[in-house]
Structure 1
Amino acid sequence: MLDIAEELHRWVEQGRDFAVATVVAVSGSGPRQPGAALAVDTDGTAIGSVSGGCVEGAVYELCQQALADGESVLERFGYSDDDAFAVGLTCGGVIDILVTPVRGSDPVREVFASALAAAARGEAAAVARIVSGPGELLGRALLVGPEGSYEGGSYEGGFGAHPELDRTVAAEARAYLDAGRTGTLEIGEQGSRCGAPLTVLVESSVPPPRMIVFGAIDFASALARMGKFLGYHVTVCDARPVFATPARFPEADEIVVEWPHRYLERTAVDARTVLCVLTHDAKFDVPLLRLALRLPVAFVGAMGSRRTHLDRNERLREVGVTELELARLRSPIGLDLGARTPEETALSIASEIVANRRGGSGVSLTGAHTPIHHDVTSASAPAGRIGSVA
């Protein structure tokens, strides 16, 4: 749901009633991951997607029904090839979809409104919803944010059941939020690991991950555009003011004129940050990579020929970089696409970043026996909105 937060937030502000269908579980080759949503308002306007087209029509009708009767419903869609016109997933997977009405009198509306407002502002927030269990609890929600978000408590809303359930789920949801993940958890009705089980979907919305591009060259301009396309907050850093200008990098969120290693020393990074070193100049690269390879970031890559790579590694060893740290360095940066132009090179680099993030092999899918959609349970939050957590 939070993947369409900006549009839904406008609907809430306009006082519209709507129903939201959310993917809550996927098995096999599902087209969308948990958290993906389709919403339909009382005028029949639809936004978002839950299946890339396979079952959108049937889910649209479920949303209209939920708006009419005010009842949440959990529906499963699987593969169907007995009848070419049957509703089913052509990819062979199975998805569970929860449809929840959000109307003026519904208690969940206030929780959703707060969650959507936070996500639309780019703030960290996580919504926990019961997606399997007693019918009266289905779709009920609570919202958590970073520590200290709510005066007098640690969460907003609740499930209307045992108070320990709210407290336990709130603590679990904050752990998901801290990791930038979206996923499900199983818990008992009284907040313990025993008793009648409930399934709770936790959707996390976190600020976009950072891509820091060092070296204000033409390849960096193309990579900045690609980074924005993938949902990163893009910073371009170079010590040379004549090159690091807004005119040369109009898509960048931030342009910094500073020695790269000094900037990296003072800026905030996290486990989703990617660092792309395109300077291929030892006086910049060595002090920068010496620091970068010791930081808890998702990706460190450096541009250069294989000869440059070998020379750079020797220089890094001379300043104390260990073999274990060197093993983290993606160099030469990018996948082997035969890239020549800055745009093709940016695509090559972005492809390696995505493969590293999602656990892909980088090989052609034609003739391969690898899964098309990899298990991303432990991955970082997808850029910009829903985690998948990354």
Structure 2
Amino acid sequence: MLTGRRGSPVCTVPRPRAAWRPVTCARPGRPGSSGSPGGCARPARTSAGSGCGRTCGLWRFLDRWGRRGTARGAVVVLLSDGWERGDPELLAEGMRRLHRLAHRVIWANPLKARPGYAPLAAGMAAALPSVDAFVEGHSLAALERLARGWCAEAARWRGCPWKERMVRDVLPVLGRWYAAGAPFGLATVVEVSRSAPRDPGAAMAVGPDDEVVGSVSGGCVEGAVFELAREVVAGGEARLETFGYSDEDAFAVGLTCGGELTLLVRPVTPELDPAFGDVAASVAAAEPVTVATVTGGPARRGATLAVWPDRVAGGLGTPGLDVAVTADARGELALGATGLRHYGPQGQRREDAVQVFLQSFAPPPRMLVFGAIDYAASVARIGAFLGYRVTVCDARPVFATPRRFPADVEVVVAWPHRYLADTDTDERTVICVLTHDPKFDVPLLTEALRRPAAYIGAMGSRRTHEDRAGRLKEAGFTERELARLRSPVGLDLGARTPEEVAVSVAAEIVALRWGGSGAPLTTTRGAVHPPRPSAGSAR
């Protein structure tokens, strides 16, 4: 529900496909009531209130709902024609505070479309830089476009139907088209900026009889991409296209979120991409593989190289480029990462003539951090930076609270050893034990040392480690089994602060993964990048 100058309803917008719920923030004369925040983006509205216009309504919303987190991560929509009442400076400060809390702030102006109103609208935009978008709000059609914009925003939230439509999800259909020899156009998101609604790797394909699978933007640009895919199939040449936000019409062919998507749209046939069938089969069998695709430069756009841990297929045009990309692709595969890389025509690493998109079909490795102490937040943050899917677990609910950790970190309240016993780990999993309390440490390490993991580290002094090792020996562990335990955790960097300790831990994890010595490079000889470790070592 959106409201007008004095909070009276002006329009009810049909709920979009994404699962958001409106949150009523304030009404004149009484506090607002809330719906349960959930699903995807949570649109919220503010009303004029009585006596002081948008400023009072905004601050009532911030005071009541900002503290409780209703605004955090929300898409907040204000419907108003200006700020003729109240203090503009106070309004600007409220907007800045709201922008820090919310995922996105949109101001829908009923007068924006009127002749002669453009200068005032431009002045509002200049005076309130914390507002992400000023859009039209003068008609049902404008509000319906706004609702479609919410759908695109919602696609970024966990649980939305569009979120997981990556290449992996549409491969079963693409594999059938490929096996039948039917050409199809494949559009893949290769680069995003700002708050684009999809992540790199999102895909949409147009196949026989104009059948469409997948999504690249949650509805914003699919119509244009459909035509592009048909054109590349007819012409046989790949194309690179960028779609961005339009200030003139936020909901035209472009992104309502204010970001940009760069798409590689290429034709796929057995002649153009001989390895596609093998890639589809590997993904279906959960076999890790990275696909490298040229997106720009002197190499042929759309050329692909499929890289497995033990083999390659295809080629990008020159042997040197294939060698360099193969090495980087295997590095990305170890992390389950996806992104753009730049090379020279012969694979030179300090040049950017050739752009190559690396897409890894492997889930990100997990980092399990036990003990929600102050060090845990720093370790979790650097773990996410390194590409891990991070979970923090602690049995004490007073410490295991989401607000103490980065937004992309999962926080679990459970006894650590019980949580680990119910959690799958593999040879890429990192386990960091930061509790340094025997009643937590020993049962947890007993479980950890009996399962696959790339790294098991435990915080504590040398005296704590000796006591812990003694208890583990009493539990039946041998010296060889205890050699897997990195304790005290981290490399010797002289670290003191939680952030420095996190760097020390991360350095040890990276060194163990790639076989590094941890010594300063100025004291070593030979290749700066060590050779890949064998299959049995940490990755």
TM-score (norm 2): 0.41
Out of 266, 288, 307, the position equivalent to 1:144 is 307
Q: What letter matches 2:443 in structure 1?
A: L
After TM superposition, the structure 1 = structure 2 runs for residues 76-225 of structure 1, keeping only pairs within 5 Å, are 76-104=242-270, 106-108=271-273, 110-134=274-298, 137-146=300-309, 149-150=310-311, 155-159=312-316, 161-193=317-349, 197-206=353-362
Q: Do 1:290 and 1:316's aligned partners in 2 also have CA atoms closer than 8 Å?
A: no
Give the residue type in structure 1 aligned to 2:180. Q
Larger radius of gyration: 2
1:289 aligns with 2:454: no
**For the Cα contact (< 8 Å) 1:6–1:119, is it kept in 2?**
no
- Please state how far the C-alpha of 1:63 moved relative to its aligned partner: 0.5
Superposed displacement of residue 103, structure 1: 2.5
AA aligned to 2:252 is A
Amino acid at match of 1:58: A
Contact between 2:197 and 2:257, CA under 8 Å: does it hold in 1?
yes
Q: RMSD across aligned C-alpha pairs, in angstroms?
A: 4.2
Structure 1 counterpart of 2:256, one-letter code = T
TM-superposed CA distance for 1:89, in Å, is 0.5
Return the letter of the residue paired with 2:339: G
CA contact (8 A) 1:130 1:199 kept: yes
Cα shift at 1:323: 8.7
Q: Is the contact made by 1:210 and 1:269 (CA closer than 8 Å) also made in structure 2?
A: no
Query: Structure 1 residues 190, 269: closer, same or farther in 2, change over 3 A?
Result: closer
1:128/1:319 CA distance change after superposition, 3 Å: same
Matched, 1:75 2:233: no
SS of 1:91's equivalent in the other structure is: coil
Q: Distance in 1 between matches of 2:366 and 2:180?
A: 32
Question: Does structure 1 residue 319 correspond to structure 2 residue 485?
Answer: no
Asked which structure has the greater RCO (Cα within 8 Å, sep 6+), the reply is: 1
- 1:296-334, Cα deviation, whole Å (9 max, x unpaired): 56999xxxxxxxxxxxxxx99963697969x99xxxxxx
Partner deviation per Cα, 1:329-355 (whole Å, 9 max, x = no partner)? xxxxxxxxxxxxxxxxxxxxxxxxxxx
- Say which SS state the counterpart of residue 33 (structure 1) adopts: coil
Instruction: Give the stretch that moved more between structures: 201-210 or 85-94.
Output: 201-210
Determine whether 1:270 maps to 2:428.
Answer: yes
Identity across aligned pairs (percent)?
Answer: 40
Q: 2:228 aligns with which of 33, 51, 62?
A: 62
Displacement of 1:193 after TM fit? Answer: 2.9
For the residue of structure 2 that corresponds to 1:137, the secondary structure is: coil
Instruction: Report deviation, 1:166.
Output: 1.0
Q: 1:33 is matched with which residue: 199, 223, 242?
A: 199
**What letter matches 2:242 in structure 1?**
R
Deviations 1:8-65 (A, max 9, x none): 2232233332110000111111111111111110311111111111111111111111
- CA separation in 2, counterparts of 1:82 and 1:62? 23
Look up the equivalent residue of 1:198 and give its one-letter code.
Answer: V
SS for the counterpart of 1:270 is: coil
**Corresponding residue number in structure 1 for 2:114:** none
Report how far residue 2 of structure 1 moved. Answer: 3.5
Provide the C-alpha distance between the structure 2 equivalents of 1:89 and 1:42, rounded to a whole number of angstroms.
28
TM-aligned CA deviation for residue 180 of structure 1: 1.4
Separation (CA, whole Å) in 2 of partners of 1:118 and 1:269: 19
Q: Distance in 2 between matches of 1:94 and 1:46?
A: 22
Paired residues, number? 254
Write out per-residue CA displacement over residues 351-390 of structure 1, whole angstroms, 9 at most, x where no aligned residue: xxxxxxxxxxxxxxxxxxxxxxxxxxxxxxxxxxxxxxxx
Cα distance, 1:299–1:23 mapped onto 2, change above 3 Å: farther
Tell me if structure 1 keeps the 8 A contact 2:178–2:269: no
Would the alpha carbon gap of residues 36 and 317 (structure 1) be closer, same or farther in structure 2, given more than 3 Å must change? farther
Q: In the alignment, is residue 14 of structure 1 matched against residue 180 of structure 2? A: yes
Contact kept, 8 Å, 2:198 with 2:216, in 1: the verdict is: yes
One-letter identity of the residue aligned with 1:271 = T
User: 3-state DSSP class of the match of 2:210?
Assistant: coil
Instruction: Give the letter for the 1:89 counterpart.
Output: L
Give secondary structure in 1 for the equivalent of 2:357.
Answer: strand
Q: Which amino acid aligns with 1:107?
A: L
Q: Structure 1 residues 161-170 or 4-13, which shifts more?
A: 4-13
Contact 2:367 2:429 in 1 (8 A): no
2 CA distance for matches of 1:60 and 1:262? 45
1:4 maps to what in 2? 170
Q: What per-residue deviation string (whole Å, max 9, x for no partner) do you get for residues 243-264 of structure 1? A: xxxxxxxxxxxxxxxx979979
CA contact (8 A) 2:192 2:200 kept: yes
Structure 2 residue runs without a partner (length 5+): 1-166, 369-388, 390-416, 459-463, 470-485, 491-496, 499-539
SS in 2 for 1:35: coil
SS at match of 2:216: coil
Letter aligned with residue 118 of structure 1: S
Task: Say whether the 8 Å CA contact 1:19–1:39 is kept in structure 2.
Answer: yes
Do the aligned partners of 2:291 and 2:307 also contact (CA within 8 Å) in 1?
Answer: yes
Q: What aligned pairs does 1:306-385 form with structure 2 within 5 A after superposition?
A: 319=468
- The CA deviation string for residues 149-177 of structure 1, in whole angstroms up to 9 with x for no partner, is 33xxxx11002x32111111111111111
What's the TM-score, normalizing by structure 1?
A: 0.55
Quote the Cα distance in structure 1 between the aligned partners of 2:330 and 2:189. 21
Partner Cα distance (1:169, 1:26) in 2: 21
